[in-house]
Amino acid sequence: MKRIKFFKLEASSNDFILLDNRKQNLNLDYKNFAKKYCARRIGVGADGLLIIEPSQVGIVKMRIFNPDGSEAEMCGNGSRCVGLWLKLEGGYRKKKNMRVETKVGIIEIAVSSSQEIKIKMIDPFDLKLDLPVKIFKRTVKVNYVNTGVPHAVIFVEGLEGINVEKIGRAIRFHKKFSPQGTNVDFVEFGGSNLIMVRTYERGVEGETLACGTGIVASAVVASLKLGIERKVKAKTKSGEVLEVHFKNERGKFSEVWLEGGANLVYKGEITLKGG
């Protein structure tokens, strides 16, 4: 029997299994491992699997696998969890700023003494506003931006009454966003610089309690559509309020930081049959 040590972490109630493979000694099929152990009733249960590997360009490389086994390009909340893990368990307790490799490039992570974590995201790209998308015999205006992964952002009223699963799935698989599909964020303006966000996540294929890249996408679009400057506060489904800081120069965004907390929930071991 083979035993695999794992860590369970969460950021804004977006939870992850983390495996440390910096020594390259885990001989695992990550796709099947994610499908089995992210399952809520028969596995550990998580919104995603984080793999830590060695890197030539950062202190580590982060890989993300969704519960359906697909590999994601980036994950904002997962990045916060990785930042905390590096501080608490990874041997970087005294390091203030950490450069981490992802599939979309290098991100920077800073962890404070109070475990508030700031992630410098990649610059958002492929921004498109007010795209007409027809679903259920009606046309809705959808805003699109890539914050490491693709996001469709829709402004709504009465956010709590929105059928996120039904509408989100229809847009996620809409031909306009094929073949890769898109995550879908439903956003309601809360006054001043506050927005409320609910997200249907691609790969999870359902609503999660928070989505970091979705919060950033929503903040970027809110800045353009609502005139919010430099800082957006975003309330997630879990109730936590995250902050997004950025520079916006004529619709070109840079210096984008996502800020919020994270927690190491527990450590454990998985026994693999036949290992």
Any idea where the domains of the chain sit in the sequence?
2-122+262-272, 125-257
* Mean pLDDT of all residues in 111-119: 87
Residue range 13-29: mean pLDDT, rounded: 95
Active-site position among 75, 145, 216, 256: 75
Question: Residue 111 above 70 pLDDT?
Answer: yes
Span 230-238, mean pLDDT?
96
Give the three-state DSSP class for 272.
strand
**pLDDT at residue 32, as a whole number:** 97
Which residue among 50, 121, 152, 211 is the active-site one?
211
CATH number of 2-122+262-272: 3.10.310.10
141 pLDDT above the threshold of 80: yes
pTM score, two decimals?
0.92
Q: Which amino acid is at 219?
A: A
The secondary element (H helix, E strand) that includes residue 97 is strand 97-102
Which residue shows structure tokens 């307790």? Answer: 93
- Please check the confidence at residue 113 and state whether its pLDDT lies above 90: no
Mean pLDDT of the 97-118 span: 92
pLDDT value at 272 more than 90: no
Q: What is the mean pLDDT of the chain?
A: 95
Determine the Cα–Cα distance for residues 230 and 247; give it in Å rounded to an integer.
6
Task: Say whether 125-257 and 2-122+262-272 share the same fold.
Answer: yes
Residue with tokens 């580590």: 60
Please report the pLDDT score of residue 275 as a whole number.
52
Mean pLDDT calculated for residue range 123-137: 96
Verify whether residue 75 is a known catalytic residue: yes
Angstrom distance (rounded) from CA 222 to CA 181: 22
> Taking residues 26-36, what's their average pLDDT?
95
- 1, pLDDT greater than 90: no
Confidence of residue 172 (pLDDT cuts 50, 70, 90): very high
Identify residue 76 by its one-letter amino acid code. G
Mean predicted confidence (pLDDT) in 20-46: 94
**Alpha carbon distance 162, 156 (integer Å):** 8
Q: What pLDDT, on the 0 to 100 scale, is given for residue 246?
A: 97
**Structure tokens, 23:** 């020594």
Is the domain covering 125-257 a CATH 3.40.47.10 domain?
A: no
**Is 81 among the catalytic positions?**
no
pLDDT tier for residue 179 given thresholds of 50, 70 and 90: very high
Contact by Cβ (8 Å): 48, 65: yes
Q: How far is the CA of 116 from the CAs of 12, 36, 57, 265, in angstroms? A: 12, 31, 25, 16
Tell me the pLDDT band of 97, cut-offs 50, 70 and 90.
Answer: confident
User: Does 67 score more than 70 pLDDT?
Assistant: yes
pLDDT at position 273 is 78
